[in-house]
Amino acid sequence: RRCPVQTTGAMGKNKKKSSFDSKPPPGKVPPAAPEGDDPLGGLSEDEVDITISTIEFLAERPELFLSKPFRDLRAALDPLVQLQLKKYDVPDYGARVTAALKAGKWADAVTAMQGVRAHNQTQRQGTLQRWVRDCSFVDDDLVRMRLMDLVVRCGKDGE
């Protein structure tokens, strides 16, 4: 919870500093620690419903959510957003392509290259050149052409 804003500086160029206090502001009592099997963690159903409706309202109006009055809300939500992003990190499909080509697993290489393209992961020129060299070891002409096509497409931006 935020404490009063302190200003420092001189001549109209104030820098705002905010500090966090572990004590709740007067008149506010923090929710009790969840006991037992409380699925809401000490929150009431009404509090959860209000929170959901507020977030849905702001999701429909992103320009409002990005305005200055909602800065504290964005800051409070940021740790939750970062936690979710860590859960859904996109794998490095380029490394998967390299491993599959070295192992001679052509179908896996095709799948990984499709992942590279789907997630717009850019590859360095040297990586693409190595992939082209690795494709030269494919005996089946159709498979080799399919792999080469995907290598070229992985090297193009926006296609």
Gap between the Cα atoms of 141 and 132, Å rounded = 14
pLDDT of residue 17: 45
Higher per-residue pLDDT: 113 or 19: 113
Alpha helices in 16-121 (DSSP H): 45-59, 62-65, 71-87, 93-103, 106-118
Over residues 112-159, the pLDDT tens digits come to 999 999 888 999 999 999 999 999 999 999 999 999 999 999 987 644
- 3 state SS of 141: helix
pLDDT at 13 over 80: no
CA 78 to chain centre: 11
The letter for the amino acid at 142 is L
pLDDT of residue 53: 95
Confidence of residue 94 (pLDDT cuts 50, 70, 90): very high
% pLDDT > 70, the chain: 75
**C-alpha distance from residue 121 to each of 82, 86, 109, 112, 156 (Å):** 21, 18, 15, 11, 11
Q: Who contacts 66 (Cβ-Cβ below 8 Å, separation ≥6)?
A: 74
* Average pLDDT for 79-107: 88
Q: Who contacts 97 (Cβ-Cβ below 8 Å, separation ≥6)?
A: 109, 112, 113, 116, 131, 154
pTM of the model: 0.46
Over residues 25-42, the pLDDT tens digits come to 555 555 555 556 788 889
Q: Who contacts 27 (Cβ-Cβ below 8 Å, separation ≥6)?
A: none
Higher per-residue pLDDT: 86 or 101: 101
**C-alpha distance from residue 127 to each of 69, 81, 94, 119 (Å):** 47, 33, 8, 17
